[in-house]
Structure formats: structure tokens, C-alpha cells
Amino acid sequence: MRALAMVLALALGSCGEPVLTEIFVCFEIDPELVGPDTEARVCVLDDEGVVVAGCEEATTLGLGRDGVTRSQGFVQADAERVVVQLEGQVPVTAPDGSVSLRDLEQSIDLAFAEGRVIDVALRLEAACLDRFCAEGETCVAGRCRAASVPNERCYTDHGEEPDPLCADDDLRLTRGCAVVAE
């Protein structure tokens, strides 16, 4: 169904109508953090800080319980940029065997790319459990990076392979999302 909607939107775009402009986000979690007590939620804010989607405590993703990647597309409306945050509580086992839940998040702040459907991937990563980043930064693969993506150079179009020159640049942009045949 999603593929059909995209094809129709693209076909309409060739007749003078606006072409679909979307950010397609895949939400993942490290397998070692998957468990029955794991919770993950999404919060999407526009460039004015207004909630676009999610952000409620009751809005949780099942990915923490089954490890399956979830995805969601966000279509450009009145915002030029969005901030997408994947927040969660994950189980951590201490050396004594006790388990506690810890907060973990990853975010991205990026502009829509006019007329493109781009992939980004956010992931709750074990490598980021003890990494505390400064305001405006987020942890990616154990390193603090700017949450904001300043340009479109390494954006990956949905279903396409990332630019090989960008492969090590920013995993949020170059992991891509699997195209689901419907």
C-alpha cells in the first residue's frame, strides 16, 4: 500500500503537482538491549518546536520487545526541518546480575529535501549507554555527533544504496531503510 501511494504521488508530480517530499525513518535497537521491559518511543518536532508526532509516554514502539525494525514516513507540511528523537529505557545487567532500566536516546535534526524521499535510521545502541553528549549532540556508534545535519550531501534516497563517499560519515544517514514490497 505504501509503495502504491508513493508511485501515485510521484506520478502526480510529473503532471505539475507537487512531488512527494518525505523523511522515511527506520527505528532500530541493538539486539542485546531487546527485552520484555524495554520501551522505546518516538518524538518528532517541527522547526518551531511544535509536536508533529509521538512524544507521549503512552506512545511506545514494540521494537524493544521483538527487535524488529519499525519505520515511519514524515511528509513535509509546514516545516522546513524536523527533529526526530528515538527515546527508550533499556535493561542493563550489572556485574552482580541485577538488572536496571536505563534511559537511552538518539536524535537527528534535518531539513526536508525538496522532491525527495530520504532514509534516515535512528538506533538505540549499547555503545552509547555510558556516553553523555553536550546539548545539541547525540550519540552515534559510541561517539558524540551534532544532532543537526547541516546539508543534504549525504542524504540517501529511499531504497537506494548510500553514497560510498559518505559510508563512514554519519550512520544515521547511511544505514538506509529496507524497502518493503507490499
Instruction: Name which residue leads in pLDDT, 110 or 166.
Output: 110
**CA neighbor of 141 nearest in space, from 177, 169, 111:** 169
The residue to which cell 552515534 is assigned: 140
Summarize pLDDT for 57-93 with one digit per residue, the tens: 766 777 777 778 888 888 887 688 899 999 988 888 8
Q: Which three cell numbers stand for residue 17?
A: 503537482
How far is it, in rounded angstroms, from Cα 159 to Cα 182?
Answer: 14
Q: Into how many domains does the chain fold?
A: 1
The residue to which cell 538505540 is assigned: 124
pLDDT at residue 179 greater than cutoff 80? no
Q: Is residue 182 part of a domain?
A: no
How far is it, in rounded angstroms, from Cα 158 to Cα 122?
Answer: 15
Q: Is residue 51 part of a domain?
A: yes
Q: Is residue 181 part of a domain?
A: no
The residue to which cell 563512514 is assigned: 168
Which residue range(s) make up the domain with 63?
A: 2-174
Q: Decide if 119 contacts 24 (C-beta within 8 A).
A: yes
Q: Quote the percentage of the chain above a pLDDT of 70.
A: 82
Q: Is residue 69 part of a domain?
A: yes
pLDDT at residue 5 greater than cutoff 50? no
